[in-house]
Chain A
Amino acid sequence: MKKNWPLWEVFVRSKNGLEHRHFGSLHAADAEMALENARDVYTRRNEGVSIWVVESKHITASNPENNGELFEPAQDKVYRHPTFYNLPDEVKHM
């Protein structure tokens, strides 16, 4: 489908103070159209206060085939989680 517009990834910040989160993707001819399309497709139910768009081809992704060497070594290293502290009762929401 060479005639399709390029694909864009959409990031929306739901509230001031929160970070932009990946919301999905869409097609658009250029950045301006991508912003308008993102506004219409992803924020029409009041989901956002800010939108970022980036053309999907500019994202470099890890290869799922390499998941073993990339991610599995971290699975048996529980000491990297801060779970060995005794938290005082007064500290909440940790």
Chain B
Amino acid sequence: MENKNLYNYILGVADNSLILGQRLGELCGHGPSLETDIAGTNISLDLIGQTRSYYQYAARLMNDGRTEDDIAFLRLEREYKNVLLVEQPNTHFGYVMGRQYLFDVFHLMFLKELQGSKDDTLAAIATKGIKEVSYHKRFSGDWIKRLGDGTTESHQKMQEAIDDLWTYTDELFDMSDADKMLVSEGIGVDVSKLKKDYYREVSELLEEATLQVPDSTYFTRGGKKGIHSEHMGYLLADLQYMQRTYPNMEW
């Protein structure tokens, strides 16, 4: 029973990386320039690498023959517990960088806390991920500054992206049942405590980028409970196609 809670907790953490990694992976070969294309794909691979470490650990905990691939590819939509933010589509490059930055700031804060987890495996995964995610945040943050403080058109598109994506930020700090249980055991991260620092850091960067910090107080949520936006089904169809069509296929 205890393992089942930890299993659910790990999936809640790892699904964010899987789905964002998949989203970025869709852009492989479609980036605006060779250099940004490779950069985006590198970030995608970092995230999928982190996901594998989490899923391998989760599969080991369940000890019933399931593998990391089963967890990644063979669940139903409602069983993915990623936040809505990371499943949002690649509308345009500013949107992709906005989505990335709004997640990266949270992700880095989260991993820094997870480093102190009583669970040695999770702490080790966090330590490894911190260097990668520090770079992700540097990359996406730099692009927000460039686009926000760039041309009239880039400024406008960046502002629209931030305004659109803002509604998905508050969900990052929701506590699922698994979160609450694991926090009380000293294993999980109390994400609700990250909220203030998160908005402060994001606001500072947006101001530096000459962008308006949205003042909307309407927030959309649901991903953490498995209730996803209309984009998720298409994403999963892409992600799962090979394993569903050729079960147990390997590269």
Contact = CB atoms under 8 A, between A and B. Distances in A.
Chain A: interface size category? 10 to 19
Contacts of A5: 33
A47 to B, nearest CB: 13
B142 interface: yes
A36 B39 contact: yes
Interface of B: 33-36, 38-39, 42, 135, 138-139, 142, 146
Contacts of A40: 35, 38-39, 42
Interface of A: 5, 26-29, 32-33, 36-37, 39-41, 44
A41 to B, nearest CB: 5
10 contacts: A26-B35, A29-B146, A33-B142, A36-B39, A36-B142, A37-B35, A40-B38, A40-B39, A40-B42, A44-B42
Q: Is the interface of B mostly helix, strand, loop or mixed?
A: helix
A27 B37 CA distance: 12
Pairs of residues from A and B, 4 with the lowest C-beta to C-beta distance, nearest first? A37-B35, A40-B39, A40-B38, A41-B38
Nearest to A40: B39
A41 B142 contact: no
Given A28-B35, A32-B142, A44-B42, 7 more contacts: A26-B34, A29-B146, A33-B142, A33-B146, A37-B36, A40-B39, A41-B35
A36 B38 CA distance: 11
Contacts of A29: 146
A39 B42 CA distance: 10
B139 to A, nearest CB: 6
